[in-house]
Chain A
Amino acid sequence: MSSLLAVDPLLEGGLFWTPLFIVLIKVLVVFVVGLVATMLMVWFERKVIAGMQNRVGPNKAGPWGLLQTLADGTKLFFKEDLIPERADRLVFRLAPYLVLAPAFLAFAIIPLGGDFRDGKGGIVTLFGHETRLQLADPPVGVLFALAISAIAVYGIMLAGWSSGSKYPLLGSVRASAQMVSYEAALGLSLAAVLLVSGTLSTAGIVDLQSSVGNWNIVATGFVPFFIFMIAATAELNRPPFDLVEAEQELVGGFNTEYSSIRFALFFLAEFMNTITMSALIVTLFFGGPQPISIGNTTLDIPLLPNALEGTVWLLLKVLVFLYIYVWFRATLPRFRYDQLMDLGWRILIPASLGWFMLLAAQRVGRDAGWDQAVVTLSTAIVLIVGYVLLQLAYKVSRANREKDGASF
């Protein structure tokens, strides 16, 4: 039956106790790593921002304040759990888990290490069984990520709605609109990656990015990466797209009414999501656990076995993006809601679509044996014409609206 699991060489030939044990270990490791990473991420973010703002940041609990998050979490855990009177109790309780689950699920398809060199495809041997260092490598891997990101919106939506209160509801309505809108751009830039790599499996995608020149960020021509990055930030509801919890406008946004451990879960999920998304970006565009290699020279970390070295490389690359996210938060002002929508619909979606078409045209040209330059140029011209028409249409519709005296 299910070849969702069968792709991993570990699971070929039926389920027996050792493979099952390996899988259980993997699940445990991923979960624990996730939790610990989140804890560290919170500390990291506070510390970095503090640094940028010339403050010290947490420094009391543990060395360099490392245990501060743990302390906060403990405190929240013992707080009284409040449920508002007008809340929809069932959904109110359910929502935090709905937020948390996708954050961890998406992590399952990230290749966490393994040796991708010399055509080994990231397969390592554990207890005499060949396997990958990732929880699952479904054949529809990237789509799985997309699916998870699609259902991530539920938690936020329902949390806001079930609170039975005005501001959380507004926050969640905003959130759902925002996330649905940016998912289109996210998906389209993702499609560019898929077009280049020709597979949906994350391991397969990593496998193809053996050197920097092969990294998808280069192969797809940078634009999809930037769009993906922006859209991902919006999907995460992180600054500068954190309208969901814009304190000035909505008090605390969708989670205003939450307290105690439920609130902690939202918090946990948010940071977990950031980590997952960074890992996904790295996997899709920056070769994942592949070491940095330019041409034939590979930056090899001495002493470490290749399989473990992949994990280190992944960590390093992810850290860069985590830093970037914190950096965003520290420096960029929040968008206004209409600006947010304009950016998503007027710029990101057309741009990613156009770029996708350009890439597609090139591939068609290549398969058909046409002159690449001509294909690129003519596609570009078509796209430019399209862009001009689009702008013209915006102008006309704005003029028409103003003529009709519309207020928006």
Chain B
Amino acid sequence: MVLAATMTAPEIAWGALTPLLILLGGTCLLLLLGTLVPRWPRVATPTLTIVTALAAGTAACVQWNNLYYRKGYSIVADAISIDRFSVLITIIITVAVALGALLASAHHDDANGDPLENYALLLTSAIGAVVMGSANDLIVLFLGLEILSLSLYLMAASDRRREESQESGLKYFILGGFASAFLLYGVALVYGATASTNINGIAEALTERIAVGGSDAMLLVGIGLMLVGLGFKVSAAPFQIWTPDVYEGAPTSVTSYMASAAKVAAFAALLRIFIVGLESRVDDWRPVIWVLAVLSIFVGSTMAVVQTNVKRMLAYSSISHAGFILVGVEAAAHMEGNGLAASATYLAIYTMMVMGSFAILIAVAGKNDTATTLDAFKGLAKRRPALALAFSTLLFAQAGVPFTSGFVAKFGVIKAAVEVDSYGISIAAMVGAVIGAFLYLRIVVSMWMEEPETQEPLEIPTVVSVVIGISVAFTLVIGFFPSILLDAIELVRFAPL
């Protein structure tokens, strides 16, 4: 009867949850004000979203500094880990949210206004993503994943004018639900093998088991199924089938966010589960990551080359980026070396790159997302040279040309891989990068070396140029002075068990 007397509620470290609480508070405030204030000015919604995201990011930065004096720790009955890794992921995601909000505000249509719900979903998805980045329990992780995914399905379907948008939302939804089921089944089998859903608990149980012996079959199948589920979420080949369609159909502002934050969160989850929880079975799952990485790089690069739609190209290129991050994961799986830091660096850089690239897509394609074919980019250098230059910079960054952040990212993962003697994967990755470069060149060629199809002036909304500016500046600054990022990310660690 007296429930409270017989149970001990875990202590909740509210301070450590600040970024999450800010995001949640922002969401509620947004929804409340939106429903209560009759004449809610249009700029207020994105502004509030951005302020919330930046506030959460600032809180995360404060946490980052605090972690200087303290090792990572876990809170709320081990459900959440606060460590350098989770805080970094939080920061990346808040930045992505802020930029995503900027893009979204440029992307609305005039007839239907700028629905408040889009921004609320942006914030809730950030909650999910942050939770995924810091979850120390597979169930919490799964809930975070679902919060993120559901928000994204809706965001993908949110452009009600275009049927493609809703179709992409539906497609994403069904395949995403399919993947979630696999992930969850994997969690169930791992739970069966270890009697725990807590990542630390799993790690401990498995370490004990090594001494005891016994069949690992259930565990391994569970790991496999989880990999399938997470592979879907990070869109690694061969689980990438949904990516191009969904990326193409979704509103571009959403695609940019989807390509960045969702992938970051899924990789964060992947890294934590496998590196922390399944460390003792690393020899069993590492080869699978190897295969996924190489497949992703090659499938992403080669399929991208035959596309005619820039949005689809970028979608495929995001698959090959996923492959590169998996190279980092594979390196991180060797426990010594810098795989973790390299993957984290790649994620941070990739986020900024991809945001900028899609921002340019928005600038070119306009509010209606109509002109995303390669033809629309023909002769862009003649119409808007600065825009073409910015896009070229970002594309070269994606290709991994020196003095751009993309090079730093690729160099980092390759270095991490080489450090642990994974030469095969490094060479495969680099060869894949060359194939990928061909794709980026195609776009560059049509921008600079072909004649424009129209001479219509291209209106670029200010917010979009801001995003492009930030992205390009980041790309170049990190390209020239990588130490700014590397010295910080070098400190990325998981909380000790």
Contacts and interface: CB of A to CB of B under 8 A. Distances in A.
Q: Do chains A and B touch in the complex (CB under 8 A)?
A: yes
Interface of A: 198-199, 367, 389, 392-393, 396-397, 399-400
Given A389-B36, A396-B36, A396-B38, 14 more contacts: A198-B1, A199-B1, A367-B2, A367-B4, A367-B5, A389-B32, A392-B36, A393-B35, A393-B36, A396-B35, A396-B37, A397-B35, A399-B38, A400-B38
Contacts of A397: 35
Nearest to B113: A404
Nearest to A389: B36
A399 B5 CA distance: 49
Q: Chain A's interface: helix, strand, loop or mixed, by majority?
A: helix
Interface residues of B, number: 9
A397 B36 CA distance: 8
A396 B32 CA distance: 11
A367 B35 CA distance: 36
A367 B38 CA distance: 42
Contacts of A367: 2, 4-5
Q: Chain B's interface: helix, strand, loop or mixed, by majority?
A: helix
Contacts of B36: 389, 392-393, 396
Nearest to B5: A367
Contacts of B37: 396
Interface of B: 1-2, 4-5, 32, 35-38
A256 to B, nearest CB: 35
A262 to B, nearest CB: 38
A198, A199, A396, A397: most-surrounded residue (chain B CB, <10 A):
A396
A199 to B, nearest CB: 8
B221 to A, nearest CB: 28
B2, B37, B38: most-surrounded residue (chain A CB, <10 A):
B38
A397 to B, nearest CB: 7
Contacts of B2: 367
A117 B5 CA distance: 29
Contacts of A199: 1
A53 B449 CA distance: 91
17 contacts: A198-B1, A199-B1, A367-B2, A367-B4, A367-B5, A389-B32, A389-B36, A392-B36, A393-B35, A393-B36, A396-B35, A396-B36, A396-B37, A396-B38, A397-B35, A399-B38, A400-B38
A387 to B, nearest CB: 13
A225 B36 CA distance: 32
A367 B3 CA distance: 10
Contacts of B5: 367
Nearest to B4: A367
A405 B265 CA distance: 41
A389 B36 CA distance: 7
Contacts of B35: 393, 396-397
Contacts of A392: 36
A265 B191 CA distance: 48
B463 to A, nearest CB: 25
A367 B1 CA distance: 12
A399 B2 CA distance: 47
Rank and list the top 6 A-B pairs by shortest CB-CB distance, nearest first. A198-B1, A393-B35, A396-B38, A367-B4, A392-B36, A399-B38
A393 B33 CA distance: 9
Nearest to A394: B35
